Structures are given as C-alpha cells and as structure tokens.
Amino acid sequence: MKKILDIAKWVLFIAVPILYFGVGVEENIFMDIAWVVSFAQLTKDFIMKVLLKEKYCEIPQTEITKKENE
C-alpha cells in the first residue's frame, strides 16, 4: 500500500503541470491542492531519507549504549 501511495505522489507531481501547460486543461482548485499536498509529502520524504538519515548516522555512541550493546 505504501508503494502505491509513493507512486501516486509522483504521478500527481508530474501529471498536473503537464495537464495544465501541455494539454491545456482548465485550472482546478482541487488539482492545485492535490499538487501542493504531493509536493509537501515529497519534500518531507526527501528530508527524512536524505538529510535526517545522515544526521542520525553521525551521532556518536555514548558509554551507556556501548555497555548495553556488550
């Protein structure tokens, strides 16, 4: 189910501008809202996967976590 939603975000993000500028579809507030939501979700996914992943990997282990791992 998560993969389907990920694909839907990309389809909306790419298809709405093509429909507006390529095909000439009339602007629609619901399509605009759907595009903004998909853009926000893609931005959130990028931040979570790329930026925060590096931050969490760089956190050094403290003595407490070293003792717990032993």
**Dist CA 63 CA 70 (whole Å):** 11
**Dist CA 18 CA 11 (whole Å):** 11
What does the pLDDT read at residue 64?
55
Residue type, 43: T
Task: Give the CA radius of gyration of the chain.
Answer: 20
**Chain Cα centroid distance, residue 18:** 20
Residue type, 11: V
CB 42 within 8 A of CB 13: yes
The per-residue pLDDT for range 46-55, each reduced to its tens digit, is 888 887 775 5
The per-residue pLDDT for range 7-34, each reduced to its tens digit, is 888 889 999 989 889 888 888 899 999 9
